[in-house]
Amino acid sequence: MHVSDSRVLTMPKGAAEAVASSDTIVVESDEILDDKKAAATLFANPSLTMLADGSTISQHLSPEDNARLEAGLKERGIVLAAVSRMQPWLIASSFEMTGCEVRRKTAGAKFLDQKLASDAAAQGKQVKGLETLAEQAKAMSDLPTELHLKSLIQTLELGNKINDVNETMTDLYLVGNIGAMVPMLKVIEPSQKITDADTAAFEQRIILDRNKVMAERSAPILGKGNAFIAVGALHLVGDQGLVALLRKQGFTVTSVN
């Protein structure tokens, strides 16, 4: 999980030892090593982060939802006008972090894969990325704006319950029940605005399509040996997950416990 929660940073038995003995640490994007450069990269191409038609987010929301958005942003020290032309997925990301995560991030805490990459770089190890941040943003922006608007509204409707959602996801992650994460998110959706087709579209573009890229780019790195790869948990599971795809390429993949 891309969080700085100490429970997540404390990796399962065998993982820390594997990291320590590896020569190369691989993460989704090595650009996360520098937050400022990462932000500059993300916003370098407005077509990936800004509403393409020149509209504002308020024009896509009901007065009630817009008021929720403005109030929620204000709580986070953000003025609506400053983000009004951003794509809804980028705005929603401000609400998807718990208050604890925001405070840790403000204090300089690193999320798990960022910490792994940072520690490796400090030790003189090689750090590699399987994607660029621009590719990740492109995946998000490829989805219809309408779907992202539904997701933003869902997040606004959840309000403080987003803390419960994140806690449940963390619990599922810690017990290794990663496959239950997406179904759980579907169940808790307050107004059921997000359809099965929406969920399928999201999974295809944000998870499955990227799994293929990750598997292809992981292969030559794994071929050289002594590498540790850390990617988001949702990329690992299923018959189109990274584990299955690596097996199809001839690699032996086994659980550490």
- pLDDT per residue of the chain (257 residues) written in tens, 0 to 9: 999 999 999 998 889 999 999 999 999 999 999 989 898 988 889 999 999 888 999 999 999 999 989 998 998 888 999 999 999 999 998 888 888 888 898 899 999 999 999 999 999 999 999 999 999 999 999 999 999 999 898 888 888 888 899 999 999 999 999 989 988 887 776 556 788 899 899 999 999 999 999 999 999 999 999 999 999 999 999 999 999 999 999 999 998 77
Domain regions of the chain by residue span: 6-248
Give CA–CA dist 109/4, Å, rounded.
Answer: 6
Triad 144, 27, 227: Cα angle to 5°: 145
Q: What is the pLDDT of residue 159?
A: 81
Which element (helix H / strand E) includes 129?
Answer: strand 126-129
165: DSSP letter: H
Q: HSE of 175 in the Cβ direction (CA atoms, 13 Å)? A: 9
Q: If you search the block for the tokens 């017990």, which residue do you land on?
A: 175
Triad 239, 242, 247: Cα angle to 5°: 75
Which element (helix H / strand E) includes 139?
Answer: helix 133-142
Is the CB of residue 110 less than 8 Å from the CB of residue 9?
A: no
Query: Sheet holding 227-230: strands in order across?
Result: 126-129, 24-27, 227-230
| Contacts with 105 (C-beta within 8 Å, 6 or more apart), sequence order | 4, 97, 111
Query: By C-alpha distance, which of 231, 229, 186, 181 is closest to 211?
Result: 231
3-state helix, strand, coil in the chain (%, to 5): 65, 5, 30
Amino acid (one-letter) located at 153 = I
Q: If you search the block for the tokens 């990274």, which residue do you land on?
A: 242
Is the CB of residue 52 less than 8 Å from the CB of residue 88?
A: no
